[in-house]
Amino acid sequence: DAGVTQSPTHLIKTRGQQVTLRCSPKSGHDTVSWYQQALGQGPQFIFQYYEEEERQRGNFPDRFSGHQFPNYSSELNVNALLLGDSALYLCASSLGEGNEQFFGPGTRLTVL
Amino acid sequence: AQKVTQAQTEISVVEKEDVTLDCVYETRDTTYYLFWYKQPPSGELVFLIRRNSFDEQNEISGRYSWNFQKSTSSFNFTITASQVVDSAVYFCALILDSNDYKLSFGAGTTVTVRA
């Protein structure tokens, strides 16, 4: 039973560029959430997708957008990258409300 | 808005010692869910335990145990007989039950277990 997978593992971009991160949920899960984790801090919620719609959004600018596909996989897009976007981006999947979210290994994004 | 506080930034112990991690939360909701996650150096967050707000029964699972006290809004986590492999950052997190689907994390506690 495959867990949550994310790609790529690492990514280096320059300021102003755009990036797309990908996530495949754990088998049987229908909900995908994205979190940003800066060094030395706890993860911060970006948004959650359910039934291909953004169900909830955290305090992130519109430069952060996402998508969920019919097979429940998801993408996170960040436009006009800033140095402050450098972080570990974590994808989590879950089934139902209030249940545990299972996390992928993350994508380490470095913006130069 | 809900808030999770982990006052301990770092804890260092010698192998086989017990480690207790503190977590205090704030919420106006009466129904919510509490979690502990472990983040080893590899970076992947690993789910450890989940409790709901209407079940204050404390449990033990292997070397892990937790103490949930609604009266003091605390959800403490203990590792018994620590091992070097327990070295990681531990996060306490909260999800509300009212159309709020995000995990709200504390700042984390770094646990170092020395051989």
What pLDDT was estimated at residue B100? 80
What pLDDT was estimated at residue A25? 96
pLDDT at A98 over 90: no
A88 vs B56 pLDDT, higher one:
A88
Interface of A with B (CB under 8 A): 31, 33, 35, 41-45, 48, 50, 55-56, 58, 88, 90, 92, 97-106, 108
Q: How far apart are CA B13 and CA A40, in angstroms?
A: 20
What pLDDT was estimated at residue A55? 92
Q: What is the pLDDT along chain B (115 residues), one digit of tens a residue?
A: 779 999 999 999 999 999 999 999 999 888 899 999 999 998 899 999 888 888 777 777 889 999 999 999 999 999 999 999 999 999 999 998 777 888 999 999 999 999 9
Q: Per-residue pLDDT tens for A13-46?
A: 999 999 999 999 999 999 999 999 999 999 999 9
* Confidence band, pLDDT 50/70/90 cuts, at residue A59: very high
Query: Across the interface, do A56 and B107 touch by the CB < 8 Å criterion?
Result: no
What pLDDT was estimated at residue B61? 80
Query: Across the interface, do B108 and A41 touch by the CB < 8 Å criterion?
Result: yes
* Region A58-72 average pLDDT: 96
Of the candidates B52, B100, B106, the beta carbon closest to that of A42 is on B106
What pLDDT was estimated at residue B76? 95
What pLDDT was estimated at residue A96? 74
Of the candidates A31, A33, A41, the beta carbon closest to that of B107 is on A41
Query: Across the interface, do B91 and A41 touch by the CB < 8 Å criterion?
Result: no
Mean confidence (pLDDT) of chain A: 94
Query: Across the interface, do B50 and A100 touch by the CB < 8 Å criterion?
Result: yes
pLDDT at A2 over 80: no
pLDDT at A99 over 90: no
* Residue B37: partners with Cβ closer than 8 Å, 6 or more residues away: A103, B45, B46, B47, B48, B90, B91, B93, B105
What pLDDT was estimated at residue B78? 95
Whether A37 and A15 have beta carbons less than 8 Å apart is answered as no
Of the candidates B45, B102, B106, the beta carbon closest to that of A56 is on B102
* Residue A48: partners with Cβ closer than 8 Å, 6 or more residues away: A31, A32, A33, A34, A54, A55, A56, A57, B101, B102
Of the candidates B44, B101, B104, the beta carbon closest to that of A48 is on B101
